[in-house]
């Protein structure tokens, strides 16, 4: 089973993390407003999907904590593939699986079905990188995790728009 982690109450693992600037809204180009021109799905579009995901323990987004970055998003629209690497704030972060799961769920809900997606930890940034990656790649475990009400609740909180 995936590790849930204690959310709310208790001490934070990393109470004073580094924070990064949020990138602004993507400016709308003339091409995007033109009915005829098709816009392909690019790295920025994928990044826009995941950058506003809330961190499970801070009132900050994954972008502000630099957990996700646009350069770590690889996408090919014609081949229908997406790869996202994320970087936990500290190497022992117990939230890593949960963050990965949130990213994965967000992409599952937001991308066309034709896409094959791969969410993994940026190589060398987490103690149990391999185990987490394996959990995230296993479709059945992801599905089972989302059957768990408590886990689904935390994931939904991460994906809810900030009030």
Partner 1 sequence: MQTREEELKGLGADFTFGFIQVMDGEKDPRNLLVAFRIVHDLISRDYSLGPFVEELFEVTSCYFPIDFTPPPNDPHGIQREDLILSLRAVLASTPRFAEFLLPLLIEKVDSEILSAKLDSLQTLNACCAGYGQKELKDFLPSLWSSIRREVFQTASERVEAEGLAALHSLTACLSRSVLRADAEDLLDSFLSNILQDCRHHLCEPDMKLVWPSAKLLQAAAGASARAYDHITSNVLPLLLEQFHKHSQSNQRRTILEMILGFLKLQQKWSYEDKDQRPLSGFKDQLCSLVFMALTDPSTQLQLVGIRTLTVLGAQPDLLSSGDLELAVGHLYRLSFLEEDSQSCRVAALEASGTLATLYPVAFSSYLVPKLAEELHIGESDLTRGDGPTKCSRHLCCMQALSAVSTHPSIVKETLPLLLQHLWQVNKGNMVAQSSEVIAVCQSLQQVAEKCQQDLESCWYFHQTAIPCLLALAVQASMPEKEPSVLRKVLLEDDVLAAMVSVIGTATTHLSPELAAQSVACIVPLFLDGNVSFLPENSFPSRFQPFQDGPSGQRRLVALLMAFVCSLPRNVEIPQLNQLMRELLELSCCQSCPFSSTAAAKCFAGLLNKHPAGQQLDEFLQLAGDKMEAGLGSGPYRSQAFTLLLWVTKALVLRYHPLSSCLTARLMGLLSDPELGPAAADGFSLLMSDCTDVLTRAGHAEVRIMFRQRFFTDNVPTLVQGFHAAPQDVKPNYLKGLSHVLNRLPKPVLLPELPTLLSLLLEALSCPDSVVQLSTLSCLQPLLLEAPQVMSLHVDTLVTKFLNLSSSPSMAVRIAALQCMHALTRLPTPVLLPYKPQVIRALAKPLDDKKRLVRKEAVSARGEWFLLGSPGS
Residues that bind partner 1 (CB under 8 A): 9, 12, 15-21, 28, 32-33, 35, 38-39, 41, 45, 48-49, 58-60, 106, 109-114, 149-150, 152-157, 159-160
In whole angstroms, the minimum distance from the beta carbon of 153 to partner 1 comes to 3
HSE-CB for 91 with a 13 A CA cutoff = 6
81 phi/psi in degrees, rounded to 5: -130, 145
In whole angstroms, the minimum distance from the beta carbon of 9 to partner 1 comes to 7
Residue placing its CB nearer to partner 1 in the complex, 37 or 131: 37
Contact between 84 and 73 (Cβ < 8 Å): yes
Contact between 39 and 32 (Cβ < 8 Å): yes
In whole angstroms, the minimum distance from the beta carbon of 21 to partner 1 comes to 6
In whole angstroms, the minimum distance from the beta carbon of 130 to partner 1 comes to 29
Residue 48, by phi and psi: left (phi above 0), alpha (psi -120 to 50) or beta? alpha
Residue placing its CB nearer to partner 1 in the complex, 1 or 15: 15
């Amino acid at each position: 089973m995936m590790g849930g982690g204690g959310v709310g109450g208790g001490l934070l693992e990393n109470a004073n993390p580094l924070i990064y600037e949020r990138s602004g809204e993507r400016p709308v180009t003339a091409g995007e407003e033109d009915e005829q021109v098709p816009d392909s799905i690019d790295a920025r579009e994928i990044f826009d999907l995941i950058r506003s995901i809330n961190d499970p323990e801070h009132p900050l987004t994954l972008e502000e904590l630099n957990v996700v970055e646009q350069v770590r998003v690889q996408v090919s629209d014609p081949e229908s593939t997406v790869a996202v690497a994320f970087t936990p704030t500290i190497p022992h972060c117990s939230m890593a699986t949960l963050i990965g799961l949130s990213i994965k769920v967000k992409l599952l809900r937001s991308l066309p079905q034709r896409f094959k997606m791969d969410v993994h930890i940026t190589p060398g940034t987490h103690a149990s990188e391999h185990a987490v990656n394996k959990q995230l790649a296993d479709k059945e475990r992801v599905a089972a995790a989302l059957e768990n009400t408590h886990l689904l609740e935390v994931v939904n909180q991460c994906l809810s728009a900030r009030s």
